[in-house]
């Protein structure tokens, strides 16, 4: 399998994305058969995604290479501070927090979301695409991360909110991907991802997000624009390297 991924990284990425969509379709089918709304199966579907990611990481032996490593291997953790301030600051604009019981449940759910999405997009996909160049790996994984959020329409979430999710996740994916590369770890990103979703779902009244105030999508996109710019700044040295990598292949075709 390692040889296949090395030879065909884009095919591998496409197959991973296809598998994620199959999980969603299985959830839709189950919701019809069981007669329950698809949102009620959101947690089981996230668990399936997590198991899928963990299984692939184990088969490929990529846990450590994907950032699930020891603290001694982490570096440049100070680069996380702008993201911490950016996400933490949004807590002050939330109208209210849920009660203690809901806070605990929401914390567990958002940690699960953080794990499975980071393991897939900043773990598996970023690692698979890395041989094509860091910049390309970060940008492609970010685009895929944004696109996968279109599935939120299938569970009945507010369409404007979903659009902001897609745009914001693409932009945020650039920043988070850059931080994954520069810090050489995925653990803090899982926690920060969970914090972001916790704040987001607190503001929307829960994971259903069916009727969302307009300020939330605007705030979400604004924060992620800043995060994307920060990510591009962190990867500024990769632009020249990406261009230099293209020169030999272009010269060879002349």
Q: What percent of the chain has pLDDT over 70?
A: 85
Which of 5-9, 134-138, 139-143, 211-215 bottoms out in mean pLDDT, i.e. has the lowest? 211-215
List CB contacts of 180: < 8 A, sequence separation 6 or more: 67, 122, 126, 186, 189
pLDDT exceeds cutoff 60 at 173: yes
Q: Checking phi first, is residue 75 left (phi over 0); if not, alpha (psi -120 to 50) or beta?
A: beta
Q: How far are the Cα atoms of 64, 83, 124 from residue 70, in angstroms, in the given order?
A: 8, 22, 18
| C-alpha to C-alpha distance for 88 and 125, rounded to whole angstroms | 27
| Average pLDDT, integer, range 197-209 | 72
Q: What percent of the chain has pLDDT over 90?
A: 58
| C-alpha to C-alpha distance for 20 and 195, rounded to whole angstroms | 23
The pLDDT assigned to 142 comes to 97
Mean pLDDT taken over the chain: 86
Q: What is the pLDDT of residues 8-24, one digit of tens each?
A: 999 999 999 999 999 99
Identify whether the C-beta of residue 179 lies closer than 8 Å to the C-beta of residue 71: no
In this structure, how many other beta carbons lie within 10 angstroms of the beta carbon of residue 42? 17
pLDDT exceeds cutoff 50 at 252: no
Per-state percent for the chain, helix, strand, coil, to nearest 5: 85, 0, 15
| Average pLDDT, integer, range 68-92 | 88
| Average pLDDT, integer, range 139-143 | 97
Q: What is the pLDDT of residues 211-232, one digit of tens each?
A: 677 877 888 899 999 999 999 9
Q: How far are the Cα atoms of 149, 150, 154 from residue 21, in angstroms, in the given order?
A: 11, 11, 11
pLDDT exceeds cutoff 80 at 47: yes
The pLDDT assigned to 144 comes to 97
The pLDDT assigned to 21 comes to 94
| Average pLDDT, integer, range 102-125 | 91
Name the more confident of 184 and 157.
Answer: 184
Q: What is the pLDDT of residues 231-251, one digit of tens each?
A: 999 999 877 665 455 443 333
Which of 40-44, 71-75, 192-196 bottoms out in mean pLDDT, i.e. has the lowest? 40-44
The pLDDT assigned to 187 comes to 97
Which of 56-60, 70-74, 82-86, 209-213 bottoms out in mean pLDDT, i.e. has the lowest? 209-213
Helix (H, G, I), strand (E, B) or coil at 146: helix
- Token pair, residue 28, equals 């839709």
The pLDDT assigned to 248 comes to 39
| Average pLDDT, integer, range 146-174 | 89
Identify whether the C-beta of residue 230 lies closer than 8 Å to the C-beta of residue 175: yes
């Amino acid at each position: 399998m390692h040889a296949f991924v090395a030879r065909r990284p884009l095919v591998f990425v496409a197959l991973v994305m296809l598998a994620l969509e199959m999980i969603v379709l299985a959830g839709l089918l189950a919701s019809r058969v069981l007669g329950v709304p698809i949102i009620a199966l959101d947690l089981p579907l996230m668990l399936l995604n997590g198991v899928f990611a963990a299984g692939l990481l184990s088969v490929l032996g990529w846990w450590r290479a994907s950032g699930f490593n020891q603290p001694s291997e982490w570096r440049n953790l100070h680069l996380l501070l702008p993201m911490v301030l950016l996400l933490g600051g949004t807590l002050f604009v939330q109208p209210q927090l849920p009660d203690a019981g809901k806070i605990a449940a929401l914390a567990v759910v958002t940690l699960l979301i953080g794990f499975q999405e980071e393991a897939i997009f900043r773990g598996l996909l970023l690692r698979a695409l890395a041989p094509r160049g860091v910049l390309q790996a970060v940008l492609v994984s970010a685009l895929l991360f944004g696109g996968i959020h279109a599935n939120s329409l299938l569970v009945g979430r507010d369409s404007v909110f979903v659009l902001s999710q897609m745009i914001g996740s693409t932009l945020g994916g650039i920043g988070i991907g850059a931080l994954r590369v520069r810090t050489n770890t995925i653990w803090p990103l899982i926690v920060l991802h969970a914090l972001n979703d916790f704040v987001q779902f607190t503001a929307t009244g829960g994971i259903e997000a069916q009727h969302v105030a307009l300020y939330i999508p605007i705030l979400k996109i604004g924060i992620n624009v800043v995060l994307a710019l920060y990510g591009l700044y962190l990867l500024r040295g990769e632009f020249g390297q990406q261009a230099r990598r293209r020169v030999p292949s272009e010269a060879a075709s002349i």
